[in-house]
Amino acid sequence: MGEEKKEEELVVEDQTEVERDGCCSGYPWWVAFILGNEFCERYAYYGMRSILVLYLTYFIGFSNDVSVEIYHAFAALTGLLFSHI
């Protein structure tokens, strides 16, 4: 019975440690900045990709078919290019 009590005490100690250190204890504090930067990069990339066809069609004057071809080329080339870096 004494052993069961020790296990319960360990669980309580672990919970207080998690509450004190936060949910991401074990990671350095700057990981939040890295994740934030990654989120902003992806948001900008997908935002630019989504308005590329509209920009090419309405402001540059390409036809819709040519704009879609340029969009697909852009998406494919950026995927191929940045996967090797």
Write down the pLDDT at residue 18: 45
Residue 82, pLDDT score: 74
pTM of the model: 0.51
Q: Which residues contact 17 (CB under 8 A, 6 or more apart)?
A: 25
Task: Flag residues of the chain having pLDDT under 50.
Answer: 12, 14, 16-18
- The residue behind tokens 């994740």 is 35
Domain extents for the chain?
A: 26-83
Amino acid at site 59: F
